[in-house]
Amino acid sequence: MNAEPDRSESPHGPNRSPGPLLIVLSGPSGVGKDAVLTRLKESGYPLCYITTLTTRPRRDNEKDMMDYHFVSTEEYRSMLAKNGFLESANVYGNWYGVPRAAVKEALDRGEDVVIKIDVQGAATIKKTVPEAVFIFLVPPSIEELNARLTQRLTESPADLALRLKTAEEEMKQLSRFDYVVVNLSGEIDRVVSTIQAIITAEKHRVTPRRIALT
């Protein structure tokens, strides 16, 4: 009697079918994560974007539930006490958190999920969800990052100096990420195309990533 073929090892076996991805987009403050994410959304690429909660005051050009979900410190602490965040951190005196339920629900629907997060938060998610795809967005140089932060006009000189110092330290964390993408000025469409290519490549891995989130 011939043995049944091991279909799990064939190109069409059940273990070859790619599951939904958890894509973590990170990088130092001022590198352009928001602009890249906005253009990625505009591209129509099929992804589920999770809105981060924050206690930070809303800037004039920001919209609630689009850039961030702005909540009070009391609301945030209530969710934190209920283990409502996949990741939570205090950054420059403000709280930021990724809502666990929103991520799990999207993955359960089979959707690829994108989270925009700071480098500290990415490190936390790496520990809890190591099978996520980690993309590090970097500036062409520290000098260029300085110029971008200065043009934002949202930080005091002291805050600007702190962010630059932090950025230099964060750039040393490259080895913890799966991919690095340089965000050159005026080439945001190229950056978005690169991220889309990364996602496509991940869908063709010999051993697909399996995201286990409880």
Asked if residue 117 lies in contact with residue 125, where contact means CB atoms within 8 angstroms, the answer is: yes
* More confident call, 120 vs 198: 198
Taken as a whole, the chain contains a residue count of: 214
* pLDDT more than 70, % of the chain: 91
Residue 214 domain-assigned?
A: no
Residue 81 domain-assigned?
A: yes
Query: Residue 200: CA atoms inside 13 Å, Cβ hemisphere, count?
Result: 7
Residue 40 domain-assigned?
A: yes
Query: What average pLDDT score do residues 127-134 get?
Result: 96
Q: For residue 37, what are the domain limits?
A: 21-202
pLDDT at residue 159, as a whole number: 79
H or E segment to which residue 78 belongs: helix 73-81
Give pLDDT tens digits for 45-55: 999 999 999 99
Residue 138 domain-assigned?
A: yes
**Whether residue 100 has pLDDT greater than 90:** yes
Residue 13 domain-assigned?
A: no
* Axis crossing angle, helix 188-202 with helix 33-42, rounded to the nearest 10: 70
5: Cβ–Cβ under 8 A, 6 or more apart, which residues? none
Asked if residue 132 lies in contact with residue 126, where contact means CB atoms within 8 angstroms, the answer is: yes
Burial class (CB in 10 A: 0-12, 13-18, 19+), 81: exposed
Asked if residue 130 lies in contact with residue 37, where contact means CB atoms within 8 angstroms, the answer is: no
* More confident call, 182 vs 172: 182
Residue 131's CATH number? 3.40.50.300
Confidence of residue 14 (pLDDT cuts 50, 70, 90): low
What is the 8-class DSSP label of residue 31? S
Residue 117 domain-assigned?
A: yes
State the total domains in the chain. 1
Residue 112 domain-assigned?
A: yes
Residue 15 domain-assigned?
A: no
Query: What average pLDDT score do residues 62-78 get?
Result: 90
